Amino acid sequence: MATLSTSAWVLHELGLAAGFGGPLFGRLALHRAVKDIHSEDERGKVLAEAWQRYNVVNAISLGTAALTWFLGRALISGRSIDEETRNLVRLKDVLLGATVATSVVNMVSGREMSEQAPGLAVPVRSGDAPSPRTPGKAARLQRVLNVMGPLNIVLTAGVIGVTTILAMKSGRSAKWSLVSRLLP
């Protein structure tokens, strides 16, 4: 078994899993759970601290997924795949690039939003809704995050879906089977 390429594949999959699962948890659970915190300022602080901690994991995870994918793409010629597979590879390139881009926008916007109040305590109604006390710039950034966050989840799901299709196709390809035996 090719240890290096297998390890890269595992890291790629783990990176996508963390890049999908964390934001999904945040949107579906964390953002709603903070409504139980009575202070709007404390809600904002809890959200900011949680997202800033997870953003480190997210950056490493998606960075690893992108690095392993694009490095692998650069090392393999692509002559061993058919046109349909080549199109799926291009689709994954686009989806993964868009996933990384929306992740960066979310990380930067979230950090900038949290800096709109002392101690990261931007008053919010929930993770998805500003309160009447939310500073104007923070409210605008929260609206950006309300679009870019779900978009990032959908894009990451798309990358995972295309990755699965490519893995299934590679298992049925005699040409790829021969090429993969030569990988480190």
pLDDT tens string 116-173: 999 999 999 999 999 999 999 999 999 999 999 999 999 999 999 999 999 888 766 5
* Beta partners for residue 130, in sequence order: 124
For every residue of 49-105, which 3-state class applies, written as one string?
Answer: HHHHHHHHHHHHHHHHHHHHHHHHHHHCCCCCCCHHHHHHHHHHHHHHHHHHHHHHH
Task: Inform me whether the pLDDT recorded for 73 exceeds 90.
Answer: no
Other beta carbons within 10 angstroms of residue 102's beta carbon come to 22
The set of residues, in sequence order, having a beta carbon less than 8 Å from that of 85 and lying 6+ positions away, is 166, 169, 173
Backbone angles phi, psi at 124, to 5 degrees: -140, 155
Calculate mean pLDDT across residues 34-56.
96
Selected residue with higher pLDDT from 165 and 176: 165
Residue 114 scores a pLDDT above 80: yes
Is 17 a residue whose pLDDT tops 80?
yes
Q: Identify the pLDDT of residue 184.
A: 52
